[in-house]
Structure 1
């Protein structure tokens, strides 16, 4: 009789074989208890020899994001606070975004506080004590700015977001049980201060997605019930339904590890899809489940696969730009498949959704964005440390080329070179 580990390995092997061998390209090996030895072969030793696809090391969206952050940082360094507030307000009210969907107002605010946050991160990495000047000078200077602009909600939001960032720096991203008590207290103190700064402002009356997003960013420091959290996100999403990141954050916070439950996640996904149908079609359901599927095996076992896939198609129909196509293709082929073998009931839904990478790549991919693929390998973890952006991007490029080459394995083995164009992949001689 097979032991449980052997049974798990055999089950996963059957699943992979039933969907083809494209998923043998996974670089993340499942835990030893369910690890499956996989033979990885490619049509050539270097996939790029058989592929021709434009590689965007710095996409237009990357450039736009960096420009907005730099502008915010410049205005803060020059202490031109009124100009900073005015630019944030204008972008916020207009819902201005980069081509890839990043809100300009949030990018300006991020740039404005970047120096303060970087100083704290550096001081902590150097082992400074809690009362060391590098840890407190920056945030105290921000507090002084807020004092001289007491009625400005946008500058209050910048200072509050700085407190939230510093709180996370103290806490880290580990499980609650392994975070030192002193670090948890300092994190809580910063979250409490951020909450006090934002409390006077009614985000609905101000028509401000940025302030609503800042209030939702406070949630990890609170212990609200599921309904309160869902209501906070409902307000935020209704203020800016074009921003898929709010829906993704809602799905994450509906997980049992935060404020929700599995039934609550399903309910909010369907409610969000209904409210945002005019913007995303069925895509609201997909966005709410997007990150939750990566982080929780039970979520994979309950997701309505057909609804999710309908949402994927509607997202592509609504936002067919290459930033979006790279995001969705890397999600399906890299981020989602990393959890294969961890839970037998979740493996089949994972594989069904992952197959969408085929049509995303064949029908819609025209250029490669390596940084997006690299982030997919890390599960789109915003807190991931990137010590070398060039190596990080190179890893994403290699992953993407391997997956694309395997998808066109038969054509390449027949001697064709696959060239990606605006008209789709074209076959030619190598």
Structure 2
């Protein structure tokens, strides 16, 4: 090839590259802003040091309670299980991360039955007799305790779980008729089992929570969903999970609209001000604005951020700090985009990760960050807890490294301790 031809070829390639770069820039300018997760390389240990709590007190407490419920059920020590579950519910006993002990005992007690049904359905086995074998055994056991609210609750929640397994996670219009009918049958049975038991009369958050959970398949216009949740929250105002569930059910896809969602958030904040300050406003919106673009566009973002500050002030434990930081830095970044007001509100909430991490974090809880990456989807399948935790650790370290990229770039080592954050000059390589 002659020198002239070579020069012409390189000139053509240069013009092509320049044109592609121009088109790329134009596309980036025209595209809506994207809130992708930061992806800097995780710095070496001499740049960032933060304790990683691989086995938190909360995770251990959750496992112990679930294992206890499962053990007592397998041993058919139902009297003892019912007594322990009811005592935990009456005492509002929770794990360090706030999970109700009674709820965990009930989950463990029905775990074998529910998992067997779920595995059968996942494998494509729709043999109803095989799927119902476990819950039928629970129904037979329940006949020995017809008036025991704890036993009836366990059987009812087993039906709820199996009903959701039949339904799956798809859109309602895509669910086969058979699956929908089986789901409804299990929910109707659960409603019947719990109908004689009133959470307010029994002073039982667990019973009241179960009644609220079963609202999802009820179509009666006479049901006052906010009233049901108000009763539940008043029974157990220190538990934010009830407030989060209220917000979810106030979305237009369920029983409310954006105005009702905001109203219930403000009402709940007013009723629980002695415990949470403004915090309940954020708890009610917590999952709703992460799931729904319209809810995110309508939230009072200044009120929401003030509420986050009040939550941390009143509950500064690392489980809560990690939950809020992961929510802001990971879950809220993954919104769909396309609505300017929602994008603006979302970015302001994402920015709260800065002060949450800098001012309040002392350790990383990987499982919390992993759940945030799934949008706190309780139905997400976790095939390996170790891989799940490793993913959460990676998310957390990437976020923290990105947050401190300027300091790290200027030669500082970022160290988190239980006394606070330290920035020290790194030793220069020899």
Q: Report the TM-score, using the length of structure 1 for normalisation.
A: 0.90
- Work out whether residues 386 and 392 of structure 1, in 8 Å CA contact, stay in contact via their aligned partners in 2: yes
Asked whether 1:250 is paired with 2:262, we answer: no
Map 1:51-66 onto structure 2 (within 5 A): 51-66=48-63
Contact 1:280 1:318 in 2 (8 A): yes
Structure 1 229/318 Cα, relative in aligned 2: closer, same or farther at 3 Å? same
1:25 aligns with 2:25: no
In structure 2, relative to structure 1, the CA distance for the partners of 1:429 and 1:108 (3 Å cut) is same
Tell me the residue number matched to 2:170.
174
Query: What is the aligned counterpart of 2:280 among 281, 284, 290?
Result: 284
Does the aligned pair in 2 maintain the 1:65–1:107 contact within 8 Å?
yes
Give the Cα separation in 2 of the matches to 1:47 and 1:345: 38
The equivalent position to 1:335 in structure 2, one of 331, 349, 362, is 331
SS of structure 2 residue aligned to 1:205: coil
Q: Distance in 1 between matches of 2:44 and 2:359?
A: 20
DSSP 3-state at the match of 2:143: helix
**Is 1:101 aligned to residue 113 of structure 2?**
no
CA distance in 1, matches of 2:220, 2:310: 33
C-alpha separation between the residues in 2 aligned to 1:47 and 1:109?
A: 44
SS of match in other structure, 2:200: helix
Q: 134, 140, 144: which is aligned to 1:138?
A: 134
Q: How much does 1:278 deviate?
A: 0.9
**CA deviation digits over 1:174-206, x for unaligned, max 9?**
100111110000000000000000001121110
Kindly tell me: are residues 407 and 45 of structure 1, through their superposed partners in 2, closer, same or farther at Cα, counting changes over 3 Å? Answer: closer
**CA distance in structure 2 between the partners assigned to 1:362 and 1:154 by the alignment:** 44
- Do residues 317 (structure 1) and 292 (structure 2) align? no
Aligned to 1:150: 146
- Equivalence for 2:386: 390
Q: Which residue number corresponds to residue 23 of structure 2?
A: none
Of 50-59 and 193-202, the range deviating more from structure 2: 50-59
Larger radius of gyration: 2
Q: In structure 2, what is the Cα distance between the partners aligned to 1:335 and 1:78?
A: 40
SS in 1 for 2:193: helix
After TM superposition, give the deviation of residue 12 of structure 1 in Å. 3.9
Residue 98 of structure 1 aligns to a residue whose secondary structure is coil
Unmatched 5+ stretches in structure 2: 1-25
Q: Count residues with an aligned counterpart.
A: 401
Whether the 8 Å CA contact 1:226–1:259 is kept in 2: the answer is no
Q: Is residue 84 of structure 2 the alignment partner of residue 87 of structure 1?
A: yes
Shift of the 403–340 alpha-carbon distance from structure 1 to 2, 3 Å rule, reads farther
1:197 aligns to 2:190 (yes or no): no
Aligned to 1:35: none
Q: Equivalent residues in 2 for 1:1-12 (5 A)?
A: 10=30, 12=32
2:11 alignment counterpart = none
| Deviation of the 1:127 alpha carbon | 2.3
Over aligned residues, Cα RMSD in angstroms?
A: 1.7
CA distance in 2, matches of 1:354, 1:225: 37
SS of residue in 1 equivalent to 2:252: coil
Q: Distance in 2 between matches of 1:155 and 1:346?
A: 45
CA–CA distance in structure 2, aligned partners of residues 224 and 291 of structure 1: 25
The higher relative CO (CA closer than 8 Å, separation ≥ 6) is in: 1
Offset of 1:84 from its aligned partner? 0.4
**Does the 8 A contact of 1:117 with 1:165 survive in 2?**
yes
Any idea what SS the aligned residue of 1:383 has? Answer: coil
Find the aligned partners of 1:142 and 1:405 in 2 and give their Cα distance: 50
Asked if the contact 1:272–1:284 (Cα under 8 Å) also holds between the matched residues in 2, the reply is: yes
Cα distance in 2 between the residues matched to 1:100 and 1:142: 30
